Amino acid sequence: MIQALVATLMWALVASLLIFRRKRADRSITYASFTIAVAMTLNVDAIYLATDPLLGGTNVTTLVSDGLLMTGIFFLGRGVMKADEYRPRLVRVAVGIPVLLTSLLAITTTFVFIDRGTTTTRFMIDLGAQPAAAAYSIINFSYFFLVITTMMILAARQYLRSSGIQRLPAALLSLGSAFGGALCLAVLIMDVAHVTGHLDLMRAVQPAYEPLSLLAFLFLCAGFAAQPAVRRAQHDMRRKRTVGLATQLEPLWKRASLVRPGLSQADPLAASADDLESRLHREIVEIRDAMIDPRVTFDISAAERALLNRAESHLLGLDTRATRTTASPGGRVGQEGSS
């Protein structure tokens, strides 16, 4: 049941990323989500039982699924790393190709030495007492722990460096990574306990597996889905604010154009450009040009000056309140020299 729910979450994440991130150059998160979704789908009991006999009926589907999951976690770590400028050597090594290839080779080698029997949906429960099976799982989850811990550090760093709603994706990723790290530690404890015969300890830890697995994937999926959603919300809010500021500035800009015609009068098509930020920028520049041109007289009120400063701050992405107290009346976004 838990595997089906996790697979559903992952496919929902894939769909959301294909919609919201389709124009982004870096596809690491999309590749990761798709690969992990396939891996988790293969782990659904009904699909596992239908697939494994096609591969010989000796649980080879487990190796295929775990290899895909390992590759997906690798892309996940790469995606988080690329979103941050903080890339020390240890981080780059943790999510590097050599570590991934070494881990894939190691699990494939140990898998060969497992007495796998026939198809079973309880692979580690049935076979975990074998040293080779324990080594197989320990290598798997050690790699997961390494990458997920790296993700948690990067996500926590992003959270501390962000503010407002931008903190939401980083907070969700941090929580998901923390639950994922706890899941890896729980599995590693169970592996060691099983192979060493401490079954009471294994059974004591086992109930934590499903809740930690669900929480890890739930928060990670939410975090990655929230990133494009937050960006789109911020884009829409900025667009609305740009429209509002351009509309408020238009009367002042028209007054400035009367005393000092600018490029907008020379090129009417430029003035009606569809790019809203270009329109606002042109209005600001032409107002500023009229203010500083010694050949014309153009005075504005304190309220108009404050509006102009807010519009400039908006284009520059500066904090509006700080700009109101620190901006110089003569500050400029830029100047389009025109006679």
pLDDT at 29: 85
pLDDT at 322: 39
pLDDT at 43: 92
What are the tokens at 200? 């009471």
pLDDT at 267: 52
Say whether pLDDT at 24 is over 80.
Answer: no
Burial of 178 (0-12, 13-18, 19+ CB in 10 A): buried
CA distance 139 to 244: 57
Mean pLDDT value across residues 297-319: 82
CA distance 188 to 136: 11
Indicate the range of 8-17, 283-292, 303-312, 315-324 predicted with least confidence. 315-324
pLDDT at 253: 84
CA distance 192 to 190: 6
Q: With cut-offs at 50, 70 and 90, classify the pLDDT of residue 21.
A: low
pLDDT at 287: 83
Mean pLDDT value across residues 4-16: 89
pLDDT at 321: 40
Position of tokens 């722990």?
Answer: 145
Q: With cut-offs at 50, 70 and 90, classify the pLDDT of residue 339.
A: very low
Buried b (16+ CB within 10 A) or exposed e, 245-264: bbebbeebbebbbeebebeb
pLDDT at 327: 37
Q: What is the mean pLDDT of the chain?
A: 84
DSSP string, 71-117: HHHHHHHHHHHHT-S---HHHHHHTSHHHHHHHHHHHHHHHHTS---
Do 176 and 223 meet the contact criterion of CB atoms below 8 Å apart?
yes
Mean pLDDT value across residues 121-149: 95
Write the class of the CATH domain 2-235. mainly alpha
pLDDT at 334: 43
Q: Give residues with Cβ within 8 angstroms of 253, minimum separation 6.
A: 283, 286, 287
Distance of CA 54 to the CA centre of its chain: 36
Convert the pLDDT of each residue in 318-327 to its tens digit.
Answer: 643 433 333 3
Position of tokens 């396939």?
Answer: 38
More confident call, 240 vs 148: 148
Convert the pLDDT of each residue in 161-213 to its tens digit.
Answer: 887 888 898 999 999 999 999 999 999 999 999 999 999 999 999 999 999 99
Q: With cut-offs at 50, 70 and 90, classify the pLDDT of residue 330.
A: very low
Q: With cut-offs at 50, 70 and 90, classify the pLDDT of residue 308.
A: confident
Mean pLDDT value across residues 115-136: 93
Q: Outline which parts of the chain fall under CATH 1.20.1070.
A: 2-235
Quote the percentage of the chain above a pLDDT of 90. 44
Q: With cut-offs at 50, 70 and 90, classify the pLDDT of residue 25.
A: low
pLDDT at 295: 83
pLDDT at 174: 94
Say whether pLDDT at 270 is over 60.
Answer: no
Which ranges constitute the DSSP H helices of the chain? 2-20, 28-42, 45-51, 60-82, 89-94, 97-112, 123-127, 131-161, 167-195, 199-205, 209-259, 263-266, 268-271, 276-292, 302-316, 320-326
Indicate the range of 130-139, 275-284, 300-309 predicted with least confidence. 275-284
Convert the pLDDT of each residue in 33-64 to its tens digit.
Answer: 999 999 999 999 999 999 999 999 999 999 99
Closest by CA to 36, choosing from 80, 82, 72, 62, is 72
Do 166 and 173 meet the contact criterion of CB atoms below 8 Å apart?
no
